[in-house]
Each structure stands twice: as structure tokens, then as C-alpha cells.
Amino acid sequence: MTYTALDLDIRDNIAWITLNRPEQYNALNAAMAKELLDVANRCGTDKRVRAAVLTGTGNKAFCAGGDIGGFAVKPEQLEMRLKEMTTVLHAAVSRFAWMRAPLVAAINGVAAGAGLSVVAFCDLAIAADHAKFTSAYTKLGFTPDGSSTYFLTRLIGTRRAAELYMTNRTLDAAEALDWGLVNKVVPAAELMGEVTALAEQLAAGPTEAFGGVKELLQTAPNDTLESQMERETRVLARVSTTTADGHEGVKAFLEKRAPVFKGE
């Protein structure tokens, strides 16, 4: 697939995904949604990919949300366009959430609307110190999409999510860190260096085990204690006994050396 709204570069077991509509502040349109789904499918099936990074072009915006200007060209088609785009976008979110490789958000600027949703569905997030976060949906008379009502409430709680949605307040990077929306805030000039170091660490790790962690974190909030513990047993038994990295981890422990994982 030829990409027009984003760039994909897979190298050294890391998939670098860059939203690339800088003149529109990397806003989501139908093309970007389709390309994100294609990328998510590729990252989820390409065994070379052991970590992924999602960022935006430039230093102003990570993703400014949906491209409202583009959607509103023909108001009579707005409902159909929104249903089409969210169907594709939500499929992409699901693929990213369940793929084995950890997905890191490198937040290089404003994350608004669906951009906030993208931050929320990534597994880990590092923000530049000038980054801003806002919902902005109800400012337009809209409601959230892109999975944020699912992931955001898990990250920051229902009260704070409701505050973001209903007041449209803007969080600066320090507040986003305090609220638990991001893992780390660094000076803008250091963002990609920090993200690269984290991505390289993840790409050298036990990828199947990371996938198991993601699976368990998805099910935990909606399961009973006993059911979740049974899931833990099954995933642990599967990963520790059927993967090469599981065998390597035990062998390295017994030999008192650092393990060398291959993502298998």
C-alpha cells in the first residue's frame, strides 16, 4: 500500500509510524484511518516488528484530531463519512491493542480530540515538554471516538475523563504526567532520543511475553478476580513453555547471565 497521510519505516525490529499531514496539524482523515489500519495489520503480522513508535511530523502537533474541515465539505454526508472513518479507525485501534509488539507514543506537540485517543491507546507514552492535551469534542457538540472512553477512563479515571470531555480543559505536559496520561516528559530536543532508547530496549525484549502482558491488561478491568487469575495462569504457562524466549530466560537465569531474546 502506498501511504499518503503517514510514513512507515521498519528498521532494526522497530516500526516507526509518523502521521504526516503537517499543514493540517496531522489531523485524521479517511485516508489516514485506512493507512493506520494497514500499518496495524502489518505490524501485527510482520515478525520483524518487536516494538513500534507512533509520532507526528513537525514540532507543533502530534495529532490535532479529526479533520473537521474535510468532513464538513458536504454536511449532508457527515454522518456517513464519520461512520465510515470511525469504523476503519476503530479496527486499527483494535489491531494495535492486541498486537504483540509494544506501541510507544512520541508526543511531539498538541494531542487533541482523536489525537488524545491515540495517546490513550498506545501502551507507553513519552511527551515533549511543550505538548498539550485536550479533548475538544464537546466544544464542537460532538462526543468522543477513537477508543478514548475505553482507554482514557482506565488511565486517569472516570472523574478526570469526564472533566476533560465536559470542560475541554487543556493539560500541559506536566499535568498529563501527574494525571497518568503519559509515562515521561522530556525536553523537546531530547524526545526522539528518549523514545529511541525505549523502543530499542523493547525491541530487544521477550516480544511474546510483552504480547501476553498486553492481553492481560486488556481483560483485567472487566473480569472477576478468579477469571483474571486463571487467564494469568494460562498466559504464563503458554509463554514460558512454548516460546524460545521463555526457554532462554530460564536458561540465562540458571547460567547467571543476561538473556538474549529473539522475539520468538
Is residue 145 annotated as part of the catalytic site, yes or no? yes
Q: What is the CATH number of the domain that holds 128?
A: 3.90.226.10
Q: How confident is the model at residue 77 (pLDDT cuts 50, 70, 90)?
A: confident
What is the H or E stretch that residue 51 is in?
Answer: strand 51-56
pLDDT of residue 73: 64
Query: Has residue 119 been placed in a domain?
Result: yes
Whether 261 is covered by a domain: the verdict is no
Q: What pLDDT score does 81 carry?
A: 84
Q: In terms of domains, do 190 and 219 share one?
A: no
Count of C-beta atoms within a 10 Å radius of residue 47: 12
Considering the domain boundaries, does residue 218 fall inside one?
yes
The pLDDT of 35-49, averaged and rounded, is: 97
Is 90 a residue of the active site? yes
SS3 assignment for 142-200: CCCCCCHHHHHHHHHCHHHHHHHHHHCCEEEHHHHHHHCCCCEEECHHHHHHHHHHHHH
Residue of 132, 107, 103 lying closest to 184 (CA atoms): 107
The pLDDT of residue 71: 67
Q: Give yes or no for residue 72 having a pLDDT over 70.
A: no
**pLDDT score, position 78:** 79
> Is residue 89 predicted with pLDDT exceeding 70?
yes
Cα distances (angstroms) measured from residue 34 to each of 27, 104, 125, 214: 13, 20, 23, 24
* 205 pLDDT more than 70: yes
Q: Please state the domain count of the chain.
A: 2
The reply to whether 246 and 195 lie within a common domain is no
Q: Which of 203, 228, 246 is the last residue of a domain?
A: 203
Across the range 206-229, mean pLDDT stands at 95
C-alpha 163/C-alpha 138 separation (Å) is 11
pLDDT digits (tens, 9 = 90+) for 2-23: 999 999 999 999 999 999 999 9
* Catalytic-role residue among 90, 130, 172, 223: 90
Find out whether 181 and 122 touch, Cβ atoms under 8 Å. no
pLDDT at residue 96 tops 70: yes
91 and 171 in one domain? yes
Give the end of a domain, one of 203, 221, 241.
203
Instruction: Supply the mean pLDDT for the chain.
Output: 95
Quote the CA–CA distance of 46 and 10 in Å, as a whole number: 10
pLDDT of residue 114: 95
Contacts (Cβ under 8 Å, ≥6 apart) of 168: 134, 135, 136, 137, 138, 139
The model carries a pTM of 0.94
Catalytic residue among 67, 123, 145, 245: 145
| Residue numbers of the domain that contains 211 | 207-254
Distance CA 74, CA 70 (A): 9
pLDDT digits (tens, 9 = 90+) for 144-168: 999 999 999 999 999 999 999 999 9
Residue 126 within any structural domain of the chain: yes
Q: 67 or 6: whose pLDDT is higher?
A: 6
Q: Which residue do the cell numbers 482514557 mark? A: 152
**What pLDDT does residue 1 have?**
85
How many residues can be counted in the chain? 264
Residue 82: predicted pLDDT: 86
pLDDT: which is higher, 74 or 242: 242
Query: Do 12 and 111 have their domain in common?
Result: yes
